[in-house]
Amino acid sequence: MSNTIVANDLRKRYGDVNAVDGVSLTVEAGEFFGILGPNGAGKTTTLEIIEGLRQADAGEISVFGQSPWPRNPALLPRMGVQLQASAFFERLTAREQLRTFGSLYGVPGRKADEMLEVVGLSDKADTQVEKLSGGQAQRLSIACALVHEPELVFLDEPTAALDPQARRNLWDVLRAINTDGRTVVLTTHYMDEAEVLCDRVAIMDHGRILRSGAPATLVRGLDSAARVSVASGVMNADEARTLPGADEVTDDEVSLTISTRDAPKVVAALAERGALEGVQIKGATLEDVFLDLTGREYRA
Amino acid sequence: MSSFKSLASAMFLGLRRDRGALFFTIALPLLFLVAIGGLFAQQSTPKSKVLEIGSVGVVDQMPAAMRADFGKSFKVTRISDRNAALEKVKKGDYDAALEQVGDQVVVHFSAADQVKSGTVQGQVNGLVQAANQAASGQAPKYRLRAEQVEDKSLKAIQYITPGVLGWALASAGMFGASTTLVTWRTKGILRRLRLSPVPIRTVFAARVAVSLGMALVQTVLFIGVATLPFFGLKLSHYWWMAIPMVLCGVLAFLAIGMLIGAWAKTQESAQAVSQMVVLPMAFLGGSFFPVDEAPKWLRVVSEIFPLRHLNDGMLKVMARGAGPASVLPQLGILLAFALVATIVAVRVFRWEQI
Ligand SMILES: Nc1ncnc2c1ncn2[C@@H]1O[C@H](COP(=O)(O)OP(=O)(O)OP(=O)(O)O)[C@@H](O)[C@H]1O
Ligand SMILES: [Mg+2]
C-alpha cells in the first residue's frame, strides 16, 4: 500500500517551547490513525504542519507525495480538515454555512443538506451558528470538513464537546468513511475512542512520539497486562504482595488492586484464601499504556 | 454556484443580518443628511410674512411679471380687522402689516426685530417705486440686478449631499474592511479558508464586491432623499458620473481599511485607528464644509486624503455640471490610493493571529 502521509523528523519551536520535537510518522492510504497525548503535547501543531497551515522549522513532510507547504492548491481539494477551534462565517445558519463551504469545493447544495442529516443537525438547519450549542457547532464543523468527500480527513479532537449519543453516531460516520477506503487522522483524549476506531495510534508527549502501533499491540506490550481487585479489607496489602504472580498492590480503602501479568494465577491464589469478595478482573487498556508512558501528574 | 458568488452571498447575508452595522453605515449618515439638509432648507427661504389690511393697490394690481418675484420674498395674508392686524405684528407673528390710506402705502412694523422690519420696508419701497414707474408710462432708465458672489449652483444641499455621502462611504468602507479582516483572523475564518482550494484573492474580491454593492445602495438612497422637493438637490447633467466616482472612492477606502485590518491585532485597535483616519479626513476633506473657504495650507494638507478627491469630483459632476472628463484626475488619484494601500496591505497581511 502507498503512504498517504510521510513525516520525517518534524520540528517546530515557539519561543523556548519545543512544540514539535522530532516527529516522524507514516500513515498509509485507507488507514485510521490516531494521535494521543496530554494537553500541550504537540498534537495540534503536528496536524497543522501536515495540513499545510504551519511551516515546520525543520524536517520533511509529504502528503500524497507532495509538500503541503507553501499552500498547495493541488492538495487542498483532497483533504478535509476540522480544526480544534471551529471557525464559521458570521451570522449564517447551519445550512448556509455548510452550503457555502460546499460551494468552495464545487459541491451542490443538495449534497450539503445531506451532510447536515449525517451529523444530526437537520432540525438546526435554520439556526444561526452563533446560537448553536458547543457540541452542535462541533458537529457542524465536522460536517464542513466532510462535505466534499475528501480522500484524507483530519479531525482535531472531533468528539471533545459531544454527548455520548453524538459521539457514537460520529464513530459510525467515521467508520463508514474509513470503510470507503478513505484515510482518517484524528487526535483524541478518549482512549476508548482510539481503541475502537484506530488501526494505529501514536502516543505523544513533549513534542515527541513515545510509542506507536496498533492499540492491541501496545496494550499487550505493557508490563502489567491485567488488574485484579477485591473489596478492601478481605486481605491486607502486605499479604497480597506475597501472592504468586502479584507485581504491584494498592489499597484505596474501597478496593485492593493487584497488578499482574498472570491474572489466572492471582485469582486462584485469592480463591485458596477465600478472599474473592467483590472480585473484578480488568484487562489493561490503552489508558494504562497512555498513563504508563506519560505519567499521572497534571500537565501545564 | 461559483465560489466567488457563494462567498459574496454569504458575506452579504452576514452583513445584512448585522443590524448594528447597517444602522451605522446606512441609517446614521442618512439621518445626518436629513438633519443638515433640513437645517439649510429652512434657512434658504426667509420669506417675509405680511398682512394686507383690506385691499392694497400696489399688491393687488401688480403686473404678472412682478408677481412671480414678489411671491418669492413675500407671503401675504389678507385681513380685514385693522386692530387685530396691528396686534399680530406687535406680537411678532407677522413681520409687517400693509395698509392703503389714500395714495399712501403704510407699513406697520414692530421695532422688536429691526432686521426683519427693515427688510420688509425696503421690499415694499421697491414695490411702490415699481408701481410709480409703471404709472408714469416710461421705460425705466436704470435697473438693479442683484448677483450672488458665490457659485450660483452651490446651494447648501448641493455640497452637503456629496460631502455627507463621501463621509458615509468612507466610514462604511474603512470600518467595514478593517473590522472584517480582524474578525476573520481572530475567529480563525482566514486559516479555515486557507485550507479550502479557493484562492485568497477570490475571498477578498467577494468582500469588495459586497462593499461596492452596499456603496451603490447608499448612493441611491442619498440622492433619492436629497432630491426630494423639501431638500431640493438639483442634479446636473452628468450626475451619473457619480457612480464611477463612488466605486473608485470605495475601492480606496476599502484598501486603507484592509491595511488597517492587516496591521491591527484586535477589533478595538482596528476601530480606533479607522476612527482616527475617518474623522479628520471627513472634516478636512470637505465633507461638512467646503474646503475652498479654508486657509491655503489646510487645502494642501487635505490633498493627502482620498475623501478630498472624491468630494471634489462628486461636486464637479453632481452640482457644478462639469463634464465626465473633468473628473478623470480624481478617478485616477482614487485608484492610485487604492493600489498603493492594497500593495502595503498585502505586505502587512498575516494569516494567523499569533
Ligand atoms: N501559536 C503558538 N504560539 C506559541 N506557542 C504555541 C502556539 N501553538 C502552540 N503552542 C505551544 O506549543 C505546545 C503544543 O501545543 P499544541 O496545541 O500542539 O498541543 P496539543 O497537543 O494540541 O494540546 P491539546 O490537547 O490541549 O489540544 C504547547 O505548549 C503550546 O503552548
Ligand atoms: Mg490540540
H, E, C per residue of B70-129: HHHHEEEEEECCHHHHHHHHHHCCCCEEEEEECCEEEEEECCCCHHHHHHHHHHHHHHHH
Is residue B146 in a domain?
no
Q: If you measure from the C-alpha of residue A45 to the centroid of ligand 2, how many angstroms do you get, rounded to a whole number? A: 7
Q: Say how far apart CA B76 and CA B83 lie, in whole Å.
A: 17
Instruction: Say if residue B149's pLDDT is above 70.
Output: no
Instruction: Say if residue B22's pLDDT is above 80.
Output: yes
How high is the ipTM of this complex? 0.84
Cβ pair A73:B197 closer than 8 A: yes
Is residue A221 in a domain?
no
B232 and B334 within one domain: yes
Is residue B145 in a domain?
no
The CB of A14 under 6 Å from ligand 1? The reply is yes
Site to probe by mutation for ligand 1, drawn from A23, A43, A156, A187 as the one with most ligand atoms within 8 Å of Cβ, is A43
CATH code, A252: 3.30.70
Domain final position from B106, B136, B166: B136
Q: Say how far apart CA A165 and CA A160 lie, in whole Å.
A: 13
B338 and B271 within one domain: yes
Q: Which of A88, A118, A153 is nearest to B188 (CA)?
A: A88
Q: What is the pLDDT of residue B231?
A: 84
Cα A283 to chain centroid distance, Å, stands at 20
B184 and B257 within one domain: yes
Is residue B320 in a domain?
yes
Q: What is the pLDDT of residue B306?
A: 96
Q: Which ligand is nearest to the CA of A156?
A: 2
CA distance A34 to chain B (A): 21
B216 and B75 within one domain: no
A176-190, A216-230, B143-157: the lowest-pLDDT one: B143-157
Domain final position from A193, A214, A235: A214
Cβ pair A87:B11 closer than 8 A: no
Q: Give mean pLDDT, residues B147-170.
A: 77
CATH code, A122: 3.40.50.300
- Phi first, then psi: give them for residue A276, nearest 5 degrees: -105, 10
Q: What is the pLDDT of residue B312?
A: 92
Is residue B142 in a domain?
no
Query: What grid cell was written down for A131?
Result: 446560537
pTM equals 0.80
Instruction: Say if residue B125's pLDDT is above 90.
Output: no
CA distance A74 to chain B (A): 8
Helix (H) or strand (E) run with residue B308 in it = helix B306-318
Q: What is the pLDDT of residue B153?
A: 44
Cβ pair A76:B197 closer than 8 A: yes
A238 and A105 within one domain: no
Burial class of B324 by CB neighbour count within 10 A (0 to 12, 13 to 18, 19+): middle
The CB of A118 under 6 Å from ligand 1? The reply is no
- Of the partner residues A79, A83, A104, the one whose CB lies closest to the CB of residue B198: A104
Q: Does B3 touch chain A (CB under 8 A)?
A: yes
Mutate to test the interface with A, among B192, B198, B352 (most CBs of A within 10 A): B192
pLDDT grade for A66, boundaries at 50, 70 and 90:
very high
Residue identifier of the C-alpha nearest atom 27 of ligand 1? A39
The CB of A190 under 6 Å from ligand 1? The reply is no
Q: Give mean pLDDT, residues B262-288.
A: 93
Q: What is the dihedral of CA B32, B220, B291, B271, to 10 degrees?
A: 60
Beta carbons within 8 Å of A285's beta carbon, 6+ residues apart = A191, A192, A195, A219
Number of folded domains that form chain B:
2
Domain final position from A161, A179, A214: A214
Q: What is the pLDDT of residue B170?
A: 96
Q: Give mean pLDDT, residues B336-351.
A: 95
B250 and B200 within one domain: yes
Q: Give mean pLDDT, residues B170-199.
A: 94
- Which string of b and e fits A122-143 if b means at least 16 CB within 10 Å? eebeebbbeebeeebbbbbbbb
Number of folded domains that form chain A:
2
Q: Does B186 touch chain A (CB under 8 A)?
A: no
Query: Who surrounds ion ligand 2 at CB < 5 A?
Result: A 44, 84
Range of the domain at B74: 48-136
CATH code, B125: 3.40.190.10
Q: What is the dihedral of CA B293, B295, B298, B303, to 10 degrees?
A: 50
Contacts of residue B3 in chain A, CB cutoff 8 Å?
103-104, 106
Q: What is the pLDDT of residue A300?
A: 55
Instruction: Say if residue B319's pLDDT is above 90.
Output: no
A116-125, A266-275, B212-221: the lowest-pLDDT one: A266-275
Cβ pair B14:A92 closer than 8 A: yes
Contacts of residue B17 in chain A, CB cutoff 8 Å?
91, 128
Tell me the CA distances in angstroms from A161 to A158, A170, A219, B326, one per residue in order. 8, 12, 27, 62
| pLDDT, mean over chain A | 91
Q: Are B291 and B297 in contact (CB under 8 A)?
A: no
Is residue A288 in a domain?
no
B264 and B220 within one domain: yes
Q: What is the pLDDT of residue B154?
A: 60
Q: Does B201 touch chain A (CB under 8 A)?
A: no
Provide the 3-class DSSP secondary structure of residue B269: helix
A121 and A71 within one domain: yes
B54 and B32 within one domain: no
Q: Are A119 and A142 in contact (CB under 8 A)?
A: yes
B182 and B132 within one domain: no
Range of the domain at A274: 226-283
Q: Are A10 and A56 in contact (CB under 8 A)?
A: yes
Contacts of residue A101 in chain B, CB cutoff 8 Å?
196
pLDDT grade for B42, boundaries at 50, 70 and 90:
low
Is residue B71 in a domain?
yes
Is residue A220 in a domain?
no
Contacts of residue A109 in chain B, CB cutoff 8 Å?
1
Q: Does B1 touch chain A (CB under 8 A)?
A: yes
Burial class of B335 by CB neighbour count within 10 A (0 to 12, 13 to 18, 19+): middle
Is residue A219 in a domain?
no
B283 and B186 within one domain: yes
Q: Which of B6, B80, B131, B106 is nearest to A107 (CA)?
A: B6
Task: State the Cα angle at A158 between A148 and A122, rounded to 5°.
Answer: 60
Give the whole-number percent of chain B exceeding pLDDT 90: 47
Is residue B251 in a domain?
yes
pLDDT grade for B132, boundaries at 50, 70 and 90:
confident
The CB of A42 under 6 Å from ligand 1? The reply is yes
Q: Say how far apart CA A62 and CA A82 lie, in whole Å.
A: 20
Q: Give mean pLDDT, residues B262-273.
A: 95
Contacts of residue B188 in chain A, CB cutoff 8 Å?
83, 85-87
- Residue that is written with C-alpha cell 494521543 in the block: A36
Tell me the CA distances in angstroms from B176 to B172, B269, B275, B336, one per residue in order. 5, 14, 12, 20
CA-A42 nearest atom, ligand 1: 18
Q: What is the pLDDT of residue A284?
A: 78
Q: Which of A16-30, A157-171, B309-323 has the highest mean pLDDT?
A: A16-30
pLDDT tens-digit readout, B43-98: 555 677 888 898 888 788 777 777 777 777 788 888 888 899 889 888 888 888 98
Q: Which ligand is nearest to the CA of A46?
A: 1
| pLDDT, mean over chain B | 87
Q: Give mean pLDDT, residues A159-168.
A: 90
CA-B354 nearest atom, ligand 1: 1
A261 and A142 within one domain: no
Q: What is the number of residues in chain B?
A: 354
- Phi first, then psi: give them for residue A58, nearest 5 degrees: -155, 165
Mutate to test the interface with B, among A51, A84, A103 (most CBs of B within 10 A): A103
Contacts of residue A131 in chain B, CB cutoff 8 Å?
none
Domain final position from B136, B160, B191: B136
Q: What is the pLDDT of residue B146?
A: 65
Instruction: Say if residue A157's pLDDT is above 50.
Output: yes
A104-118, A163-177, B138-152, B294-308: the lowest-pLDDT one: B138-152
Residue identifier of the C-alpha nearest atom 22 of ligand 1? A44
Residue identifier of the C-alpha nearest atom 11 of ligand 1? A19
How does DSSP classify residue A89? Answer: -
Domain final position from B95, B111, B136: B136
A238-247, B139-148, B315-324: the lowest-pLDDT one: B139-148
Give the whole-number percent of chain A exceeding pLDDT 90: 65
Is residue A129 in a domain?
yes
B187 and B263 within one domain: yes
Domain final position from A177, A192, A214: A214
A277 and A179 within one domain: no
Give the whole-number percent of chain B exceeding pLDDT 70: 95
Q: Give mean pLDDT, residues B148-177.
A: 82
B61 and B8 within one domain: no
